[in-house]
Amino acid sequence: MTPEPVLSVERLVIEVARTGARVVDDVSLTVGPGEVLGLAGESGCGKTTLSLALLGYTRRGLAASSGRVRVGDRSLLEMGEEALEHERGSLVTYVPQDPASALNPALRVGTQLEEVISFHRRNEDRAGRRVLVTKVLEDVGLPTTRSLLESYPHQLSGGQQQRIAIAMAIVNRPRLIVMDEPTTGLDVTTQARVLQTIRDVCREHGGGVVYVTHDLAVVSSLAIRVAVMYAGRLAEVGPADQVLQRPAHPYVHGLLQAVPDIEGRRELTGIPGQAPDPGRRLEQCLFAPRCPLAVAECRQAIPPPVAVGEGHRAWCIRVAEQAGAPVAGPGVAPREVAADGSGALLAIDDLNAGYGSRPVLHGISLSIPTGASLALVGESGSGKTTLARCIAGLHTGYTGTISLAGAQLARAARARPAAAREAIQYVFQNPYSSLNPRRSIEESIAQPLHYTEEHPDRAEIDRRVGRALDSVSLSAAVRRRYPHELSGGQRQRVAIARALIVEPRLLVCDEVTSALDVSVQAVVIELLDELRRRRGLSMLFVTHNLALVHSVADEIAVIEEGRILERGPVERVLARPTSEATRALVANVPRLAPVASGAG
Amino acid sequence: MTTQPETAPATPRRSRGLWLDVLARTCRSRRGLVGLALVTPVVLIAVLGPFLAPKSPTAFVGLPYAGPSSEAWLGTDGIGRDVLSRVLWGGREILALAVLATVIGIVVGTALGTTAGYVKGALDEAIMRTLDVALAFPQIILALLLVSIIGPELWLVCLAVAAIHAPQVARVARAATLRTVEQDHVKYAEAFGIPRRRVILGEVVPNIISPVMVEAGLRLTYSIAIIASLSFLGFGLQPPSADWGLMVNENRIGIQQNPWPVVTPIVLIAILTVGVNMFSDAVARSALGIEAPIAPPSMSGSDDVLGGAEHVATEVPAS
Amino acid sequence: MSSVPASQSEQRSDSRARWSDSIVLRTIVRRLLLGLLTLFLVSVVVFAATQLLPGDAARAVLGRDATPDRLAAFRREFHLNESWLQQYWSWLSNLLTGNPGTSIANGLPVWSGVEPRIVNSLYLLIVVALVGIPLSIALGVWAALRRDRLFDHATSTITLAAAALPEFVVAIALIILFATIVLQVLPPVSLVAPGTSVWSHPTVLVLPVATLTIAVVPYIYRMCRGAMIEVLESEYIEMARLKGTPRRVLLLRHALPNALAPTVQAIALTFAYLAGGVVVVEYIFGYPGIGQGLVNAVSARDLPTIQLIVLILAAFYVLVNIIADVVVILVTPKLRTSS
């Protein structure tokens, strides 16, 4: 006799009120007591909208047009605001994605925590509340001091803020906790700790948990069951170990191939194209345009759910061809460092950099051989971006030398000879600000050509822009468009095209995929790798994501607090790190491993 | 899996005339239409009035403060001149001065603000401190001060009003510049060694036009109000010129006998200012998707308090 | 049951504000110094504008048919034959020692004419503040709560129109409506002898207060509404809703404190702006305040009075800005505590 589900979502549809475009389309889910359901998907899939609906809440402009959400015995979407106020925070609670913005900056942390209790437990007096607060702070691993409770949110670290948010969500012993990517924005070490706290909480807590995330590796260590969404609809639902290791839906399969693997056992493969926006979603399989297994029938109707196993369903008519194929693939070939004996292309000697009086980098000495790719890995605040900027000539506050092919470079980019400026090209992290919104794609890519020594003519510029677009696999139709018409991944490729058009020798990539979805990230990484191999480009790949380095670099340098901890071939450093800090970093990276034995 | 060439999503191409788009959208919106409907007749009266006036604005046509008659449709003013003709003549200077003062104020203000925001450092401090001093003078006082010494010269009034606008426009331009300069495409241009002038003109200015234009609409409203007020106080056009502001003051005394020389200019000024304000609010809404901030003319508000105009619309990735 | 404790690096030191090294104190001092600097610069500009212009100041002030004796006396009194620096210094030192000079218009000490006017103008401003501020905030908050509905649209449109109108237009309209043509219940002009307090004839205050209130309310309303909307759209308010916060608590404890800072700034700036607006209003209603004093002084080219009044207005402006900045800091925890 299966116990009564804690959460039951029945054919939920959420639309944009004005246009009727569906953000969540006919989704049904259940969560049993003690169960952790991972709700996964990329940006735009509707998972956040769905997660808010589990509290009976829709954002401005959206409305639930049909379907039901039941938590325990309450049907939330049919309740009025006042009744919902009663249930939110006690029956079902929410842990937000960004605790820094989710905590009220004008109220003390203790007040915000205590009021959750006082709203829902009217019979508790002051002393009783204090006891509850103390207990819940212990549960989440925070000190129970008065000074903590009297702090304002901005006085706490990111990890502490998130623990407060978690405390607020568990103190009233809810039946359902909804967590929306609660560890995004935390550095890897803090993330690992907070995740552990979450695991403990899930285990102790008797109700259900819905854990929303885009990071499949995180989900695999936490969830018992997984539901994957795509473009507002469910793609696959089932036990975590089955879905994550033997996915039935081609999208889930493709997604898992795109997740970076720190063990380096699997080559990174992306999914070209992008998901349709709400309003452009037709009555067919929405993944078909990007699907390697698509046939004509896929475009004729929305695929019905197909049973793949016990409690395991996938919405795809080609499940039989796909089902069971393990997510693996050719392992990543070990790279030989392309040392061609011509010495280092870029050499940094004893660099000390800072901002005003604040020192950021200490005694950095590093070299990048010609044709080699070096990954510079560190947490935020480690100084890696500062180093990249110094190399590019964007930051001049440093001592020490940077030399290109033996010749020392001036600190400011403007002071360098044109040849040096062309030789080192920089690609920025944020695809939304690296292109001038007022220039067409064509103009942006051609921009550097107007300032090179050779001054190519109109026809030549045209040709080179065409070739640049080709090399990043963008069609010529993109030329006349403006940045706001392209997706993040496309913009990033335009930025790369712009960098390549002057035929640089060193490409500095500063967290270029951090703002992109996993599947798009993989596409860009593949592109960078291909370019590097074909053109013999040297690359400095700056990232905080250790798992990416196998796919993009020959060597890795780990940086922490402005110092290089170690450096060497990727294989060696990740498998046998010499420094303790590196070891800890490697250990803290979530892995797409067999699911941990969670609660129950 | 090899990467395949890809096309961009099939969205309609946005034309390059961004400002024409904004204006077109404004003219279709309700507020924009109301604003336009209010402004157009008054502007026509002001500009074409002198050609339509039945009498000379300075000729005597009857007894003082006589009521409307077939000779003088709006009656006569305190000296016996035809009110209708004076009204038709009386809008030109206000409009011309207001537009001129606004344009000068915006050009100077934008130049100062953009330079301060781009160059930063000591020059920025110097410019902004100087502007702070200018902003410490409540609106009309500076104009009064100068007029009290030099005399009510029209060119002085125009420059004084422009000087009232420039600091606030500079603030807005500076805030927008600071924000734009943080964008990576500007950093890219710097890293490539593109000459500074080209960077300002090519990367910065096109991206700050929106908030500056919104501010421009606001400033025009205040120009009209300030110039009319100065004339009212007697520090703008001097008698016997026909000027709406002046007329209101001159004929206050006789308001019980003939209200028209006071009421007509008041109504015209009111319609004009309200119409301009509505239109510029509508422009702000279509350009930035939010409402125009309305600020007292000599606001030295800190840049992040005045929401709205200073937010250049940027795209946010969906989550 | 224990969970992974927050590591050492996650713990922070005592968060309580220590008033000895308080940020508030430092900010007040810094703003005061900056304000003094601004005032000093303003005084230079005032002085330069009035006494250093090219041409003969004496002749410009006294007129064409002034006798040579009078011209000479004028020049002596204003030290016009000395160097600029000396002129400025004598003027400034006189000012600071409480001797702003003698009025050209009536020969009396400037201060005796200005002082009662300051008081009357202050009365006006205080009444406008007491009426206008609560009204604007109430309208702004309500409009934000009823966003995009009828009340919001109506109020926003009306205030948009009101903000555009020059004060003299509003004043004359009110006079026509309530004092002369339509109704005749209020006095169109303040027939109060200069030097007496306004409170002896309170009805005199009504129309000027109404005019200034109409001038002031749109700005504060706009700012308050905008701030409230931004707060209501914020993530922390969304989070509070998801915690099940009751509506009233949400508004009063969670939302309003965060909307205060921009609103306070708007209030301060609006009142500073009134320093100029008051000129026109007092002139129209013949209200015996500092604005009327300025207009009279300018008409009479009464230099010392002009200089003093402008300085007072500028000082008022600077002071209001300082107070606003301090209040904003007090009201925003992020600014007044260390992190």
From chain A, the residues in CB contact with B190 under 8 A are 394, 413-414
Residues 218-237 of B with CB under 8 A from C: 221, 224-226, 228-229, 232-235
Among A63-72, A143-152, A589-598, C115-124, the minimum mean pLDDT is found in: A589-598
- When scoring A57, A58, A85, A101 by the number of chain C Cβ atoms within 10 A, the one with the most, hence best to mutate, is A85
**Cα dihedral across residues A107, A112, A115, A116: positive or negative:** positive
What's the pLDDT tens digit per position in A475-532?
Answer: 888 898 888 888 888 999 999 999 999 999 999 999 998 888 888 899 999 899 888 8
Q: Collect the ranges in chain C with pLDDT lower than 70.
A: 1-21, 50-66, 77-84, 98-107, 190-198, 338-339
Per-residue pLDDT at A325: 63
Among B11, B187, B194, beta carbon nearest to A485: B11
Token reading at A282: 């037709």
Does the beta carbon of B1 lie under 8 angstroms from any beta carbon of chain A? yes
Residue A428 to residue B9, Cβ atoms within 8 A: no
Q: Which residue of A has its CA nearest to C254?
A: A104
Query: Is B193 in contact with A414 (Cβ distance < 8 A)?
Result: yes
Q: Which residues neighbour B234 within 8 Å (Cβ) at sequence distance 6 or greater?
A: B152, B246, B249, C299
The closest alpha carbon to A471, from A494, A448, A504, belongs to A494
pLDDT value at position C165?
92
Strands (E), A168-282: 176-180, 208-213, 225-230, 233-239
Provide the phi-psi class of A447: left if phi over 0, else alpha when psi is between -120 and 50, else beta. alpha
Distance (Å, rounded) from C-alpha B193 to C-alpha B214? 32
Q: Which residues contact A429 (CB under 8 A, 6 or more apart)?
A: A510, A511, A512, A514, A515, B184
CB contact under 8 A, C41 and B300: no
For residue A406, pLDDT over 90 is answered with: no
Taking Cα atoms as reference points, which of B83, B80, B105, B87 lies closest to residue B46? B87
Is residue C233, in this structure, part of any structural domain at all?
A: yes
From the list A106, A107, A155, the residue facing C15 with the nearest CB is A155
CA–CA dist A156, A152 (Å, integer): 7
Percent of chain A past pLDDT 90, that is, above it, reads: 39
Q: Does A485 sit within 8 Å of B187, measured CB to CB? A: no
Identify the pLDDT of residue A41: 92
What is the chain B residue with the closest CA to A477?
B7
What region, left, alpha or beta, does residue A409 occupy, with left being phi > 0 and alpha being psi -120 to 50 degrees? beta
C-beta of residue C229 within 8 angstroms of C-beta of residue C147? yes
Instruction: Answer yes or no: do A430 and B184 touch at CB < 8 A.
Output: yes
Q: How many of the other CB atoms lie within 10 Å of CB of A406? A: 9
* Cβ pair B14:A426 closer than 8 A: no
How far apart, in whole angstroms, are the C-alpha atoms of residue B233 and residue B222?
16
Classify B53 as helix, strand or coil.
Answer: coil
> What residue of A is the nearest CA neighbor of B316?
A432
Q: Please give the pLDDT value at position B207.
A: 86
Q: Which of residues 153-172 of B touch C (CB under 8 A)?
A: none
Assess contact for C122 and C199: CB atoms under 8 A: no
Query: In this structure, which amino acid lies at residue A223?
Result: A
Residue C189, Cβ density class (10 Å: 0-12 exposed, 13-18 middle, ≥19 buried)? middle
Q: Give the phi and the psi of residue C5 in degrees, each rounded to 5.
A: -70, 155
Q: Give CA–CA dist B283/B286, Å, rounded.
A: 5
**ipTM of this complex:** 0.84
d(CA A275, CA A517): 11
Residue C129 lies in a domain: yes
Q: Mean pLDDT of successive 10-residue segments in chain B (319 residues)? A: 36 50 80 92 92 84 84 84 89 92 94 89 85 75 74 84 90 90 90 87 86 86 90 83 89 86 92 93 74 40 29 26
The two beta strands, A555-560 and A563-569, are antiparallel
Tell me whether strands A233-239 and A62-71 are parallel, antiparallel or unpaired.
unpaired
How many domains are there within chain C? 1
User: Alpha-carbon distance A69 to C224, whole Å?
Assistant: 37
Q: Which of B112, B123, B116, B210 is nearest to B162 (CA)?
A: B112
Please give the distance of CA B190 from its chain centroid, rounded to a whole number. Answer: 34
In chain A, residues 270-289 whose CB comes closer than 8 Å to chain B: 270, 272-274, 277
Task: Give yes or no for residue A326 having a pLDDT over 80.
Answer: no
Provide the token pair at C293.
Answer: 């004093």
CATH number at residue C324: 1.10.3720.10
Nearest to B140 among C39, C157, C279 (CB): C279
Give tens-digit pLDDT for A263-318. Answer: 777 778 888 888 888 888 888 899 988 888 888 888 888 999 999 888 899 999 88
Q: Is B123 helix (H, G, I), strand (E, B) or coil?
A: helix
Tell me if C127 sits within 8 A of C209, measured CB to CB: yes
* Number of other CB atoms surrounding residue B143 within 10 Å: 26
Contact yes or no for A421 and B207 at CB 8 A = no
Helix pair C110-145, C203-232: axis angle to 10 deg: 40
Question: Tell me, what's the pLDDT at B15?
Answer: 42
Whether the CB of C58 is below 8 Å from some CB of chain B: the reply is no
CB spacing of C172 vs B277 below 8 angstroms? no
Structure tokens at B110: 């934008």
Assess C169–B contact: CB distance below 8 Å, yes or no.
yes
- Name the residue in chain C with its Cα closest to that of B265: C169
Å from A316 to nearest chain B CA?
21
Q: Which residues of B are less than 8 Å from A414 in CB distance?
A: 190, 193
State which residue of chain A sits closest to C15, comparing Cα positions. A151
Give the gap in angstroms from C-alpha C328 to the nearest C-alpha of chain A.
12
Q: Enumerate the β-bridge partners of residue B144.
A: none
The pLDDT of residue C302: 77
Angle of helix C167-174 versus helix B260-288 axis, rounded to 10: 130
Please, are residues C125 and C213 in contact by the beta-carbon 8 Å criterion? Answer: no
Chains that touch A (3 or more CB pairs under 8 A): B, C
The single-letter code of the amino acid at A472 is V
- Dist. CA B187–CA B64, nearest whole Å: 69
Distance between CA atoms of residues B89 and A153, nearest Å: 63
pLDDT at residue A329 in the model: 60
Q: A85 and C244: CB-CB below 8 Å?
A: yes
pLDDT at A540 over 50: yes
Digit-coded pLDDT (tens) for A217-273: 888 888 889 999 999 999 999 999 889 888 999 999 999 888 888 877 777 888 888
Which A residues, 529 through 548, put their C-beta within 8 Å of a C-beta on chain B?
A: 530
- HEC-encoded secondary structure of A541-574: EEECCHHHHHHHCCEEEEEECCEEEEEEEHHHHH
Contacting partners of chain C (3+ CB pairs under 8 A): A, B
A-B contacts at Cβ under 8 angstroms: 114
User: Inter-chain contact B266–C173, Cβ cutoff 8 Å?
Assistant: yes
d(CA A234, CA A232): 7
pLDDT reported for residue B11: 37
Note whether residue C57 is domain-resident: no
Q: How far apart are CA A197 and CA B180, in angstroms?
A: 41
List residues bridging with B250 in a β-sheet: none
Report which DSSP code applies to C176.
Answer: I
Question: Are the CB atoms for A19 and A250 separated by under 8 Å?
Answer: no
Q: Quote the CA–CA distance of A107 and C257 in Å, as a whole number.
A: 9
Spatial distance between the Cα atoms of C113 and C101, rounded to a whole number of angstroms: 11
C70 within some domain: no
**Residues 393 to 432 of A: which have CB under 8 A from any B CB?**
393-394, 413-414, 416, 418, 421, 426, 428-430, 432
So what's the pLDDT on residue A124? 83
B293/C222 touch (CB, cutoff 8 Å), yes or no: yes
| Cis amide linkage into residue C5, ω under 30° from 0 | no
Contact of A46 with chain B, judged by CB distance below 8 Å, is answered with no
**How far is A95 from chain C, CA to nearest CA, in Å?**
9
CA-based nearest residue in chain A for residue B317:
A488
Q: Does C248 touch chain A (CB under 8 A)?
A: no
Coil, helix or strand at residue A274: coil
Q: Report if residue C100 sits inside a domain.
A: no
Whether the CB-CB separation of A223 and A202 falls below 8 Å is answered with no
B16 contacts in chain A (CB < 8 Å):
440
pLDDT band, residue A94 (cuts 50/70/90): very high
Given an 8 Å threshold on Cβ–Cβ distance, is C172 in contact with B248?
yes
Residue C253 to residue A86, Cβ atoms within 8 A: no
Instruction: Count B/C contacts: CB-CB distance under 8 Å.
Output: 166
Sign of CA dihedral A170, A171, A173, A176: negative
Contacts with A152 from chain C: Cβ below 8 Å: 15, 333-334, 337
Nearest-5° angle of CA B192, CA B195, CA B198? 105
Of B136, B274, B294, Cβ closest to residue C317 = B136
Q: Which residues of C touch B140 (CB under 8 A)?
A: 276-277, 279-280
* Rounded CA separation A122/B316 (Å): 41
Q: Would you say A14 and A66 are in contact if contact means Cβ atoms under 8 Å apart?
A: no
Q: How far apart are CA C138 and CA C149, in angstroms?
A: 16
Report pLDDT for C60.
60
**Residue A482: its chain B contacts at CB < 8 A?**
13-14
Question: How many angstroms separate the CA atoms of B83 and A348, rounded?
Answer: 83
Neighbour order of strands in the sheet with A538-543:
A424-427, A506-510, A538-543, A373-377, A555-560, A563-569
Q: Is residue C166 part of a domain?
A: yes
Which three-class secondary structure state does DSSP give residue C102? Answer: strand
Tell me if C164 and B273 make a contact (CB, 8 A cut-off): yes
Instruction: For chain A, count helices (H), then strands (E).
Output: 21, 22
Cβ contact C299–B234 (<8 Å) = yes
Task: Please report the number of interchain residue pairs, chain A to chain C, with beta-carbon separation below 8 angstroms.
Answer: 131
Contact B6 A486 (CB under 8 A): no
Among C9, C10, C12, beta carbon nearest to A155 = C12
Q: DSSP of C249-311, one letter per residue?
A: HIIIIIIHHHHHHHHHHHHHHHHHHHHHHHHHHHHHHT--SHHHHHHHHHHHT-HHHHHHHHH
Q: Which domain holds residue C253?
A: 117-337
Cα–Cα distance, A242 to A235 (Å, whole number): 14
- Give the residue ranges of DSSP H helices in A453-569: 458-471, 488-500, 518-535, 549-552
Q: How far apart are CA C217 and CA A431, in angstroms?
A: 43
Residue among A55, A103, A204 minimizing CB distance to C1: A204
